[in-house]
Amino acid sequence: MRILFLGDVVGRSGRDAVMAELPGLRARLKADLVVVNVENASHGFGVSPDMVRGFLGAGADALTLGNHSWDRKEIIGYIDGEPRLVRPVNYPPGTPGRGATVVEVPGGRKALIVNAMGRLFMEPLDDPFRGVQAELARHTLGAGGTVQAILIDIHAEASSEKMAMGHSFDGRASLVVGTHTHVPTSDHRILENGTAYMTDAGMCGDYDSVIGMQKGSAALRFWKKVPGEKLAPAEGPASLSGIFVETDDATGLARKVAAVRLGGLLSPAMPDF
């Protein structure tokens, strides 16, 4: 299976770029499964139902969230009816939505997408490791299993927590990828037991910014510890940033992995397989 994951979409710049480029990018990479983190798509904070429909219409199979899941209040009444929109699995019981979903991909195959949120320097949610473990316990991976690919989006501040997630589920997932810090790391690789891993996929947004926000007002917050103007997304040309994985059909584990960077200020990177 060929899997494309794109990091946090930030604001209109990132949103427009993903919706414009995703159909062609999916065709170019011959991707069977496309997952996009959209928790910053709406002016940097949350995502609206119309935007969800737009991303799905552009070619995404599933969308993940994070700490800004509920910033657009209308998503609370919408998320239960859209199984392809996944919020962190470690929100408390009774929270709207779901922390994992299974989607169908070409060839009669299925893929499990799990979203988890870290706790270091983040909200004190339930244990993300046990939450992911519970979801994976419901499935078997591989040609004869219940799913033929498993993708885990760990939305976390600390690189150590993301790495711990990767190693904890090495050999049990096709891909463990970090989101939230909006800076693409260069450590994409296949772990010892066959799981593809990347500490942070980066963002889909304008990199002439402070992690996607207009740099002037964002930088001023570090100079003056008083309330200032509300942060707003940068609106220049966006870079799409993410990771691409090819798995072994028999095992569901990774055979190849590569970074994806397209457009904007970042140096381009595109898989050659």
List the catalytic residue out of 43, 68, 139, 182.
Answer: 68
Does residue 33 contact residue 255 with C-beta atoms inside 8 Å? no
**Residue 18 backbone dihedrals phi, psi, to 5 degrees:** -65, -45
> What does DSSP assign to residue 238?
P
Q: Which amino acid is at 99?
A: G
What is the phi-psi region of residue 218: left when phi exceeds 0, alpha when psi lies from -120 to 50, beta otherwise? alpha
Is 68 part of the annotated catalytic residue set?
yes
Q: Alpha-carbon distance 12 to 223, whole Å?
A: 27
Render the burial of 208-224: b for 16+ CB within 10 Å, e for the rest: ebbbbbbeeebeeeeee
Catalytic residues: 68
